[in-house]
């Protein structure tokens, strides 16, 4: 594998964005915002702790789904961007596996998670380990009884959709949700890292 | 007022972006509008109100820090800083057109949430910008040394419904 994770993070973490004269950030084919992690965590945490226990899983599915769609569309925007072409594309030898390793490095550069692929069986299974991620931050004391990294679950599944789910479909009706992700470990649960296992849906 | 230079930093060890000293992340309109849709559709609790309250709490803390750091003392300076932050964060072009400790009005000329919603699903009749409702509660609380929970915000017209601008009314409860 020719992907130089450190170089990707060094280069792409320096790409900064800010609202234009309209207060909008149109990049990677989407409108982007840069908000405090507390906002996203706050809504997910309060929602999952306010719903009745029998509705918790349904709420979690919706939170994961938001990230799944975001990861699919923004992920495609990233891997077709000029920044990707100049920094990551020259390192790619094997498609789509190197693209996946590069995309997970971009995940780190964007501040979503200090993560890497621990295992990859092409088209079948991907295991991502995240050693630091903002969704673990709400557990400032003790251990959560269940994993809470809904965003990372969705994004990991989306990256496998992009790699093995067929051509990108901007409507999301074909290539999206061909994979699903389960979080098997979480820093928020007291584990040393978060672990995300992606398999065909 | 001179525009504020918002601070950025990247922690390469943890892979965290810090904006104005807070961990911050980039997300796209798919994510923000799906969170909004989740809040709008949720029949389990008042999730629209919840999303607005989380926004109010989060942005109140951000704006209070900006005010302290830049020694912003007047309501005009504080409101200008909040409008600038809103645009810098990519949420749109927000103008508070009248403000006092008890009530006020604001318009949104461009909107990440409304325009993102229209791009994703098309227009609709009812407002969707619960995040900006919360942001405005935070703006008024920070500008007039109150608490975000003291302010009720109503969206009277919306870009998502085809209007040129969204219009908000803010009142102390």
Residues in contact with B18: Cβ distance below 8 Å, sequence separation at least 6, in sequence order:
B7, B8, B9, B10, B11, B24
A122 touches chain B (CB under 8 A): no
Mean pLDDT by 10 residues, chain B (173 residues): 89 92 92 93 89 98 97 97 97 98 98 97 96 98 96 98 98 96
Question: So what's the pLDDT on residue B48?
Answer: 95
Q: What is the DSSP string of A24-79?
A: -EEETTEEEEEEEHHHHHHHHHHHHHHS-GGGHHHHHHHHHHHHHHHHHHHHHHHH
Other CB atoms within 10 A of residue B28 CB:
26
Question: So what's the pLDDT on residue A12?
Answer: 87
Nearest residue in A to B29, CA atom: A31
Chain A and chain B share a number of CB contacts under 8 A equal to 175
Contact assignment for B27 to A40 by CB distance below 8 Å: yes
The residue among A5, A9, A13, A23 with the most chain B CBs within 10 A of its CB, best to mutate, is: A23
Each residue's pLDDT expressed in tens, for chain A with a length of 201 residues: 589 999 999 998 888 889 999 999 998 888 999 999 999 999 999 999 999 999 999 999 999 999 999 899 989 988 998 889 999 999 999 999 999 999 999 889 888 999 999 999 999 999 999 999 999 999 899 999 999 999 999 999 999 999 999 999 988 888 999 999 999 999 999 999 999 999 999
B55 touches chain A (CB under 8 A): yes
Q: What is the dihedral of CA B131, A189, A13, A17, to 10 degrees?
A: 0
Question: So what's the pLDDT on residue A28?
Answer: 83
Contact assignment for A9 to B14 by CB distance below 8 Å: no
ipTM for the complex shown: 0.96
Question: So what's the pLDDT on residue A23?
Answer: 97
Question: So what's the pLDDT on residue A1?
Answer: 57
B44 vs A contacts (CB less than 8 Å): 51-52, 55, 59
User: What is the pTM assigned to this prediction?
Assistant: 0.95
Q: Contact A1/A96 with Cβ under 8 angstroms?
A: no
A59 vs B contacts (CB less than 8 Å): 42, 44
Contact assignment for A38 to B22 by CB distance below 8 Å: yes
Other CB atoms within 10 A of residue A122 CB:
12
**Domains of chain A from N-terminus onward:** 5-200 (3.30.1380.20)
Residues in contact with A179: Cβ distance below 8 Å, sequence separation at least 6, in sequence order:
A157, A160, A161, A164, A165, A198, A199, A200, A201
**Domains of chain B from N-terminus onward:** 29-172 (3.30.1380.20)
**Closest CA–CA distance from residue B14 to any residue of chain A (Å):** 6
B141 touches chain A (CB under 8 A): no
Q: Contact A130/A111 with Cβ under 8 angstroms?
A: no
């Amino acid at each position: 594998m020719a992907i130089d994770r450190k170089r990707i993070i060094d280069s792409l973490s320096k790409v900064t964005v800010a609202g234009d004269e309209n207060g909008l950030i149109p990049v990677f084919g989407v409108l982007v915002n840069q908000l405090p992690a507390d906002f996203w965590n706050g809504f997910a945490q309060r929602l999952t702790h306010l719903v009745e226990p029998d509705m918790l899983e349904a709420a979690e599915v919706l939170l994961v789904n938001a990230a799944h769609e975001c990861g699919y569309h923004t992920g495609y925007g990233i891997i077709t961007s000029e920044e990707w072409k100049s920094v990551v594309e020259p390192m790619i030898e094997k498609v789509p596996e190197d693209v996946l390793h590069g995309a997970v490095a971009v995940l780190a550069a964007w501040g979503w998670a200090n993560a890497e692929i621990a295992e990859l069986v092409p088209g079948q299974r991907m295991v991502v380990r995240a050693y630091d991620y903002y969704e673990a931050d709400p557990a400032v004391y003790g251990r959560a009884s269940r994993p809470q990294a809904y965003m990372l679950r969705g994004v990991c599944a989306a990256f496998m959709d992009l790699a093995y789910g067929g051509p990108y479909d901007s409507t999301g009706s074909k290539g999206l949700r061909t994979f699903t992700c389960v979080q098997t470990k979480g820093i928020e649960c007291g584990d040393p890292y978060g672990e995300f296992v992606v398999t065909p849906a | 007022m001179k525009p504020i230079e918002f601070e950025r930093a990247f922690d390469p060890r943890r892979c965290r972006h810090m904006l104005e000293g807070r961990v911050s992340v980039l997300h796209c309109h798919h994510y923000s509008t799906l969170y909004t849709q989740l809040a709008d559709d949720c029949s389990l609790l008042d999730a629209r109100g919840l999303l607005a309250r989380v926004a109010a709490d989060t942005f109140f803390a951000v704006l209070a820090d900006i005010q302290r750091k830049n020694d912003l003392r007047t309501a005009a300076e504080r409101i200008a800083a909040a409008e600038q932050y809103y645009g810098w964060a990519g949420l749109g072009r927000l103008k508070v057109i009248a403000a006092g400790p008890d009530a006020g009005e604001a318009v949104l000329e461009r909107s990440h949430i409304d325009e993102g919603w229209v791009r994703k699903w098309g227009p609709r009749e009812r407002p969707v910008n619960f995040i900006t409702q919360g942001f405005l509660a935070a703006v008024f609380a920070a500008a007039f040394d109150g608490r975000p929970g003291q302010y009720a915000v109503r969206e009277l017209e919306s870009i998502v419904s085809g209007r040129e601008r969204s219009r908000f009314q803010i009142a102390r409860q």
